[in-house]
Amino acid sequence: MRVLAVLEEFLKRSDQFFANLAQEKDFETYFVNSNLAILLLSACYGATMGMYSGGLQIVYSAVKVPILILISLYLTVPSYYVLYSLIGGKRSLKQTVTLLLSGFTIMAIILLAFVPVNLFFIITTPRSSEAHSFTALLNIAIFTLGGFFALIYLIKGGKVLYKEPGEEWKPAFLVGSVILAFVGTQMAWVLRPFFNYYEFFIRPLESNFYTAVISLVSRFAGLAGAIIVLCGLIILAILFLSALIPSKRNLKPFEPPTSAG
């Protein structure tokens, strides 16, 4: 199975992939091709980000984005697996890693899909402080959207993979997702592939990701923009929880007793 075939299967034949995963088929194939897909697709997106500053930043960002995604993934694999195993999970570490890789591959596909949009704004936006803030926030929004759909994909896979009686995977998945969010944002802050003008690979550490985002939002759109961003994050959290928590089963309609005779 080639890289493009894996992408096609994850996108259009996810049920077949989840069935193979449950039956422990083609682990090595999925593992190798998923890692390659993440490397290639996220590098393309990173190179696009680096075009804002040009020069070495094109190469730097093309390297940083795959590092950001893969390190965030593999740092949080133990959290997912150990927490899941503690509450009765029966799936193997290979299955957990492969499922997480599929979700991050979906994220890389979404990043690639937004390359034309990102490139359009980079080309048509004049260089200024406000433009820098807007372009950085645009890319943070694209990463957030990609991460959101990756988690939704993982929820879909979890519902198929962890359906045996006694397999309580949702609490572990929720905690693991929170850990992943904090690890990913901190890793993004350390690497900072967001349109740097600097000639070195990693800028000196300062502040943190969250205060930097608040500063960008307030600089670009003021208090109203910060409120809109906060509302957007709340909506995404609600959608994520609604996908994770099943709706109540529909009650059977009331049927009045039939009269005797």
Task: Please report whether residue 258 resides in a domain.
Answer: no
Burial degree of 235 (CB within 10 A; 0-12, 13-18, 19+): exposed
Is residue 257 classed as helix, strand or coil in its secondary structure? coil
Residue 95 near residue 154 (C-beta atoms within 8 A):
no
Distance between CA atoms of residues 64 and 68, nearest Å? 6
Q: What Cα–Cα distance (Å) separates residue 96 from each residue in 89, 103, 199, 221, 241?
A: 10, 11, 39, 41, 21
Task: Please report whether residue 254 resides in a domain.
Answer: no
Q: What Cα–Cα distance (Å) separates residue 208 from each residue in 43, 51, 85, 213?
A: 24, 24, 33, 9
- At 230 the pLDDT is 61
Residue 213 has pLDDT above 70, yes or no: no
Tens-place pLDDT, residues 47-86: 998 888 777 888 888 998 999 899 999 999 998 888 888 8
Task: Please report whether residue 255 resides in a domain.
Answer: no
**Per-residue confidence at 246, pLDDT binned at 50, 70, 90?**
low
- At 97 the pLDDT is 92
- Expressed as residue numbers, the domain containing 15 is 3-244
- At 5 the pLDDT is 83
Residue 253 has pLDDT above 50, yes or no: no
Say which DSSP state 164 is in.
Answer: S
Task: Please report whether residue 130 resides in a domain.
Answer: yes
DSSP letter string, 137-173: HHHHHHHHHHHHHHHHHHHHHHHHHS-STT---HHHH
Of the candidates 152, 167, 173, the one whose C-alpha atom is nearest the C-alpha of residue 79 is 173
- At 107 the pLDDT is 93
- At 59 the pLDDT is 87
Residues of the chain above pLDDT 90, percent: 20
Residue 1 near residue 26 (C-beta atoms within 8 A):
yes
- At 255 the pLDDT is 47
Say which DSSP state 255 is in.
Answer: -
- At 199 the pLDDT is 56
Task: Please report whether residue 41 resides in a domain.
Answer: yes
Mean pLDDT, range 205-211, rounded to an integer: 64
Mean pLDDT, range 177-206, rounded to an integer: 70
Task: Please report whether residue 14 resides in a domain.
Answer: yes
Task: Please report whether residue 249 resides in a domain.
Answer: no
Number of domains the chain is built from: 1
Residue 144 has pLDDT above 80, yes or no: yes
Task: Please report whether residue 148 resides in a domain.
Answer: yes
Q: Which of 20-34, 55-69, 142-156, 208-222 has the lowest mean pLDDT?
A: 208-222
Residue 210 has pLDDT above 60, yes or no: yes
Residue 52 near residue 122 (C-beta atoms within 8 A):
yes
